[in-house]
Amino acid sequence: MSFLDPTLVLELLLLGVCTGFLAGLLGIGGGMLMVPFLTMIFSNRGIEPGLAVKMAIATSMATILFTSISSVRAHHQRGAVRWELVRRLVPGIVLGGLLSGAGLFALIKGSALALVFAAFVGFSATQMLIDRKPKPSRQMPGPVGATAAGGFIGLISGLVGAGGAFISVPFMTWCNVAMHNAVATSAALGFPIALANTVGYVVAGWNLPQQVPGSVGYLMLPALAVIALASVLMAPLGARTAHAMNTKQLKKVFALLLYGLASYMAWRGFSG
């Protein structure tokens, strides 16, 4: 597999542009879009299919380290990040991310997880699309509840190779956090999610019997560099677009994205 192939570089750049824009627009790391395409790219260039999936997940998760920094910087400049919520959720996120990144996903039947995930995401999308208002009295949970919520976000994110916004944004809006604040705060949460899981993936793949050139554990460094460069440049544009849209528009965009993710996961679950 040669990363000097112009076609390969172009494919990775295009993938980075799309996922970077989505990271800024919706506070997501783009993992659910990136993993299938990276798996296809790696498999088509001779990497064994099972290893290609793991390397796609690890590489996708690692790109969030870069896209989250770029995206959250743009959101922070607009005063949209709720840093007190970040501090409250991070301890659980790190614990959950380390647990999943260390290999818990290998112990759970993928088809069952996919169907549960699809049902949850579909429900969240419907709630957001119909714009059902949360109870005015509902607020973010205290330290124990926030740690549990963060642990769930970090754990599920690691199992599917995504940045966690598909859980954290609906959760925060359900707790009466404004949509723009939820998106911006989710972008900030992407970094600890990615860091904890990336460490787990590198450790888990450190003793692979046959290393792929350019890889560290399950992480494909050349692909990471190309995608990260493109996505970091595009994330601020996505963030500016998000702040130019009203809340209802942003909710509809996010709900449609969630329906797409739910459909894909349901297909994977039923296909076994």
Bridge partners of 219? 216
Rg (CA), the chain: 18
- Which of 24-28, 48-52, 236-240 comes out lowest in average pLDDT? 24-28
Count of C-beta atoms within a 10 Å radius of residue 216: 16
Greater pLDDT, 49 or 194: 194
The count of C-alpha atoms lying within 13 angstroms of the C-alpha of 224, restricted to the half-sphere facing its C-beta, is: 21
Nearest-angstrom CA–CA distance, 33 and 250: 19
Residue 30: what pLDDT? 64
pLDDT in tens, 47-102: 877 777 778 878 888 888 887 776 777 778 778 889 989 899 989 988 888 887 67
Residue 157: what pLDDT? 79
Task: Using alpha carbons, list the distances in angstroms from residue 28 to 45, 163, 166, 265.
Answer: 28, 6, 7, 17
Residue 116: what pLDDT? 66
Task: Answer yes or no: are the C-beta atoms of 154 and 93 closer than 8 Å.
Answer: yes
Domain coordinates of the chain in residue numbers? 6-270
pLDDT in tens, 146-158: 889 888 888 887 7
Nearest-angstrom CA–CA distance, 129 and 216: 41
Token couple for 215 = 């890889």
The overall average pLDDT reported for the chain is 77
81: left (phi > 0), else alpha (psi -120 to 50), else beta?
Answer: beta
Nearest-angstrom CA–CA distance, 254 and 28: 10
Q: State yes or no: pLDDT of 110 exceeds 60.
A: no
Sign of the torsion formed by the C-alpha atoms of 156, 74, 86 and 103: positive
- Which of 13-17, 129-133, 180-184, 235-239 comes out lowest in average pLDDT? 129-133
